[in-house]
Structure 1
Amino acid sequence: MYLSHFGFTEWPFSNTPDPRFLYLSPRHEEALAHLLYGVRERGGFVQLTGEVGTGKTTTCRYLLSQLPEGVDVALVVNPMLTPEELLATVCDELGAAYPPEPRTRKTFVDALYRHLLAAHGRSRRTVLIIDEAQNLSLDALEQLRLLTNLETATDKLLQIILIGQPELTTLLARTQVRQVAQRITARYHLLPFAERDTRAYIARRLQIAGQGLNVFEPPAVLAVHRASRGVPRLINVICDRALLGSYAEGRRTVNARTVRRAAREVAGEIRRPPRRVRAGAIIAATAAVLVVFAGAAGFAGAWRLPSLRALRNVHLTAAPEPPRTVALGPPLETTPGGMPIADAAPAASPVVASAPVVASAPATPAPAASAPRTAPDLGALLTATRPAADLSGALTRVLARWGVTVPAGEDPCRIATRSGLECYDGRGTWTVVRRLRVPMALKLTAPDGARHFVAATALDDDTVTLQWAQRTELLPTAAVERWWDGSFSVIWRPLPGVARVLAPGMQGPGVAWLRRALNDGDITGRERGPVVYDDALAARVIAFQRREGLEADGIAGIETLVRLSTQLDTRAPLLAGARPGR
């Protein structure tokens, strides 16, 4: 309908898993590396999970187009089968002949074993991929485990990759299938896109569909990301509807207003529940709609997209922090005895005394002029910030600490790439922030629901210096936690020309860098001859991942590489000791 209007040669936002449209974000690259690692291994399970619509199936289809020579694959896309039906499906996928009767498990397993032995004799490996694996029954899972027992004297004959929604993790945690969980050699959870990935994803699909120009205005792209929360499937649906709306209005570009209307239509809502209310009239109108159409308290939950509900409510369920305590060490841990801020951080707020202070003397009221500095109300400061502090501004401040200037209107991450740096989005606690050691942007949510991005430029045991707009504030970390969900964006320096995911069996300069970094912290030297990612290096990677609180799978993905780089890069700016705000 709108193809010729926008100059497309095909539908840009079809939800079919076409590998041509695959955009490999850093997270998808890491997921693909885990799958390729599973293909190279012999025996055991590899697990890939992700929320609905995050690109698991598309990544799997792309994997099939990237398989090395000598690999046979059986793909099961509907695993809601009995064990016998599952075995028959696997045999059919691999072309393993079996007699028509009797249709027993032994019949299918014997046929499969003969086929696997013959493939092994031809130096071929066999991989079984189960999509939507959360739908497997316990009996079917146990039968899959038994298939991993098919082996020769030296090799396992079958590698199994389980791909599914987060419910798969819950399923594998059940006692009845604990032996399956014990055989999982690699796990990865695929997250939605970061904002810049959404922007690149939209641009790529438009380009492949025949339109080199991005018909989505920059505010419209941001609106798509906010409405979809970075879920590719929702991005496709919203963008498709927005293009249709712009076509109906005769416009050649898509604006933010059209995107927001498209998002409401996609969600099946006339109006979203009133999370951000700015006028009494809106409150009254929305209340009337709720009374007429809902008639029940559960209206909001029923009409919201289930996969996004938890993300929207993350700040509504957090318990408020004690009013005058600060964190020491792990988040939410108060100082001994619940020490107030004035006693916990005297260095940051010195008391002006007119006479020597005797340590054993009883406490006496201090004059008003010598009272400790009271921490500002972060929630009130964020609410008063208009417009909301954006990610671009926060990353511009962070890049300034790296000595990189971002011209007005430019994308900070693009400028970072030109300077040999990269942006990385992560999630964690203050412990993670301390281990990364470098300035970063934190995502905060104000009491009115507005999202702000602030630059964290200094961090002490219990205080952090935040910069945004024209402000520089020294705040207790415990006070910041109330408005921070753990999301951050960090700048790091990758090794030029090195893959963002390093896995066992790989070799090259990236593997050499990894070995030096884990051996003696040297990330600048060179090694002679090829260096292979062997079992010994994988063991060191696992040890490092465990120390850092990462998924200990022995694969040096982007999160592992970022941790190593920021800890060992002597040219990186550090989170210096916090200073009082000005």
Structure 2
Amino acid sequence: MYTHFFGLVEAPFSISPNPKYLYMSERHGEALAHLVYGLQDGGGFVLLTGEVGTGKTTVSRCLLQQLPEGTEIAYILNPSLTERDLLAAICDEYHLSYAPDAGLKVLFDLIRDHLLANLANGKRSVVLIDEAQHLMPDVLEQLRLLTNLETDEKKLLQVVLIGQPELQQMLRQPLLRQLAQRITARYHLLPLTRSDVDAYVRFRLQIAGCVQPIFSAKAVTVLHRLSGGIPRLINLICDRAMLAAYARGEHRVSGRDISQASFEVTGQRDDGSWLGGLAVTAAGALLVAAGWFGWQHFGVLPVRPVVKVEVPVTVDETPEQQEQLSEAIGQAYDPSLALQNLYRVWGFEPEPEEASCSEAERAGLRCLSGNASLDEMAKMQHPAQITLKGEKGSRYYATLVNLSAEQAYLLIGEQSWNVERDWLNQHWDGEYTLLWRLPKGSAVIGNGAGQPQAQWLENAVSKALKQAPRKVSRFDAELKRKVEQFQKRAGLSADGIAGANTLLRLNIIAGEPMPTLEEAS
């Protein structure tokens, strides 16, 4: 209706898939790269999740185009299947004949023989399941059994699971932990950023024949806010907004047009308050500003109430404690829950799929992983996600919040625990991941540092050495000497460069506002 009015050859914001309108944002490119890498790695499962309309199917179609020659793909679009239905669907996709009354074993053996034949012929076999959040646990377990088929060198079958965020929740169930441990690559596709939305809109208009700007800068800002960066919603809102501008006889789409269109499409108007992605809570923001980050002032706020275990866990747990601990461990096999709790300690409330090291920079933070003793963790003074050893060699994850000479305060799953330090020493394998804030926005502070970074470092290291700070304009020889002196005292490699470990220690000494492992009062 409005295409001729705007000088377009066709409607640019149809929700029907059209290859020529495929816009690969940086995030879509990252998702595709993760999937391709996961399949090259030869592992059993590759996982892609994202909200409705974020472009998961677009990425999966690009993946199919990038699979090497000699790859046989079974594309399952309707995963609401029983175990037998799933095996039968895979047989259908691989063009394998079977009797109508064939049972699970017959179908399984048929697929196994076909996979072995593919391997002998130099072919790869892949099963890709879209909308995988609809799979039942027993069907997922059947998929895992299929990936058990392997030679000494490689798996016979690789599985790509694509679904909504609920799929990640499903895979956190204890009965599916074996499958979750076989995921070699996973990516959660986040919505488009504001700049991506701008580029997305301009790209589609250009493909449709646009020769002039149509959406104002304000319109794009409002569009990003109200669509949440979801491509499908962007299309619906833009189409309705262009129709509104056409009805007024205007060749420019305004922020008001977007707001009205959003209300018609989603029922949501623009109030300027929508925040996407990793958002700091109001309480967290106030505490950061005030420098109050003691555990006693700002605790973890899980989605569901934390079960407080009042009796400290000793080295020899009582039967009641063992039962409670087993319940907590059942919630703690997924490391992202412990990392999500760690973000909460810092004052952020991320979605589970956003609680990752790759998202830390969006919160102005950095991740640091490694191995350490409890004494070394006490010196670093940062809360951390830690890996604990369970029975029979199993591993689970907790968040270390406080650490004193005798006790530690942990979050395990959705429960909080006071444990004896000896107990933690016995169960911790030394692995940790912590969040920390980088001072002055520099990855390291060394010879090429600017004046603000050098002055911050001079002030911090002088305070640590109990010396009077100088006024510096650059990273000079005296500052390097001071850094080396501090590094030697802290038991660090004395290279004179303030890297991650050095800056992490200096942050604490400099009094930067952050959560610490200091004992709660």
TM-score range, shorter chain: 0.5 to 0.7
41 and 91 in structure 1: CA distance in 2 versus 1, 3 angstrom threshold: farther
Change (3 A) 1:224 1:132: same
The alignment partner of 2:4 has SS state of helix
- CA apart distance, 1:315: 6.5
Question: 1:432 aligned to 2:431?
Answer: no
Contact 2:74 2:126 in 1 (8 A): yes
Contact 1:22 1:59 in 2 (8 A): no
Q: CA deviation at 1:311?
A: 4.7
- 1:235-384 to structure 2, matched below 5 A, reads 235-268=234-267, 311=276, 318=283, 321=286, 325-327=290-292
Distance 2:278 2:432 in 1: 30
CA contact (8 A) 2:133 2:167 kept: yes
Task: State the secondary structure of the residue aligned to 1:20.
Answer: helix
Superposed, which structure 2 residues align to 1:33-432 within 5 Å?
A: 33-95=33-95, 97-268=96-267, 311=276, 318=283, 321=286, 325-327=290-292, 427=361, 429=363, 431-432=365-366
Q: Residue 186 of structure 1: SS of its match in structure 2? A: strand
Distance 1:565 1:171 in 2: 39
* Letter in structure 2 aligned against 1:577: W
1:190 CA displacement: 1.2
Q: Is the 8 A contact 1:74 1:128 kept in 2?
A: yes
Amino acid corresponding to residue 132 of structure 1 in structure 2: E
Structure 1 residues 325 and 208: CA distance shift in structure 2, 3 A? closer
Partners in 2 of 1:332 and 1:25 — Cα distance? 41
Q: Deviations over 1:422-446 (max 9, x none)?
A: xx996555642999xxxxxxxxxxx
Where structure 1 has 5 or more consecutive residues not aligned to the other structure, the ranges are 277-307, 335-423, 436-460, 462-544, 551-563
- Structure 1 range deviating more: 23-32 or 128-137: 23-32
**CA shift in 2, pair 1:111/1:312, >3 Å:** closer
Q: Is the 8 A contact 2:54 2:231 kept in 1?
A: yes
Aligned Cα root-mean-square deviation (Å) = 3.8
Contact 2:10 / 2:208 at 8 angstroms: preserved in 1?
Answer: yes
Equivalent pairs: percent with the same residue?
Answer: 45
Q: Specify whether residues 567 and 146 from structure 1 end up closer, same or farther in structure 2 by C-alpha distance, changes over 3 A only.
A: farther
The residue that corresponds to 2:478 in the other structure is: none
User: What one-letter code is carried by the residue in structure 2 that aligns with 1:432?
Assistant: R
Aligned-partner residue type, residue 210 of structure 1: G
Corresponding residue SS for 1:99: coil
TM-score by length of 2: 0.57
Specify the alignment match of 1:10 in structure 2. Answer: 10
| Contact 1:42–1:157 (CA under 8 A) maintained in structure 2 | no
CA deviation after TM superposition for structure 1 residue 15, in Å:
2.1
Corresponding residue SS for 1:3: coil
Q: Which runs of 5+ in 2 are unaligned?
A: 300-357, 370-380, 382-430, 460-521
Match of 1:577 among 447, 456, 465: 456
Structure 1 residues 167-214: Cα deviation after superposition (integer angstroms, max 9, x where no partner): 111100001111100111111111111111111111111112222433
Partners of 2:8 and 2:208 within 8 A in 1? yes
Whichever residue aligns with residue 231 of structure 2, its letter is P
Normalising by structure 1, we get a TM-score of 0.51
Shift of 1:323: 10
Q: Report the equivalent of 2:29.
A: 29
Are the equivalent residues in 1 in contact too, given 2:48–2:189 (CA < 8 A)? yes
The residue type equivalent to 2:36 in the other structure is: L
- Cα shift at 1:13: 1.4
Q: Look up the equivalent residue of 1:71 and give its one-letter code.
A: T
In structure 2, relative to structure 1, the CA distance for the partners of 1:17 and 1:99 (3 Å cut) is: same
- The size of the alignment, in residue pairs, is 335
Instruction: Summarize the Cα distance change of 1:247–1:25 in structure 2 as closer, same or farther, 3 Å threshold.
Output: same
Q: Deviations over 1:432-462 (max 9, x none)?
A: 2999xxxxxxxxxxxxxxxxxxxxxxxxx9x
Q: Contact (CA 8 Å) 1:28, 1:190: kept in 2 or not?
A: yes
- 567 and 134 in structure 1: CA distance in 2 versus 1, 3 angstrom threshold: farther
Are residues 546 and 124 of structure 1, via their aligned partners in 2, closer, same or farther at CA, if it must alter by over 3 Å?
A: farther
Describe the shift of the 1:235–1:82 C-alpha distance in structure 2 as closer, same or farther (beyond 3 A).
same
Q: In the TM superposition, what is the alpha-carbon distance from 1:125 to its structure 2 partner? A: 0.8
CA positional deviation for 1:163: 1.1
Mapped contact 2:7–2:210 kept (Cα < 8 A): yes
- Are 2:278 and 2:363, in contact at CA under 8 Å, matched by a contact in 1? no
* Aligned-partner SS, 2:366: helix
**Partner of 2:426 in structure 1?**
none
Distance change in 2, residues 1:323/1:163 (3 Å):
closer
How far, CA to CA, are the matches of 2:132 and 2:225 in structure 1?
Answer: 29
Distance 1:313 1:47, change over 3 A: closer
Report deviation, 1:46: 1.0
How far, CA to CA, are the matches of 1:91 and 1:570 in structure 2? 62
Task: Write the letter of the residue equivalent to 1:80.
Answer: S
CA offsets per residue over residues 378-436 of structure 1, 9 Å max, x none?
A: xxxxxxxxxxxxxxxxxxxxxxxxxxxxxxxxxxxxxxxxxxxxxx996555642999x
Partners in 2 of 1:123 and 1:331 — Cα distance?
61
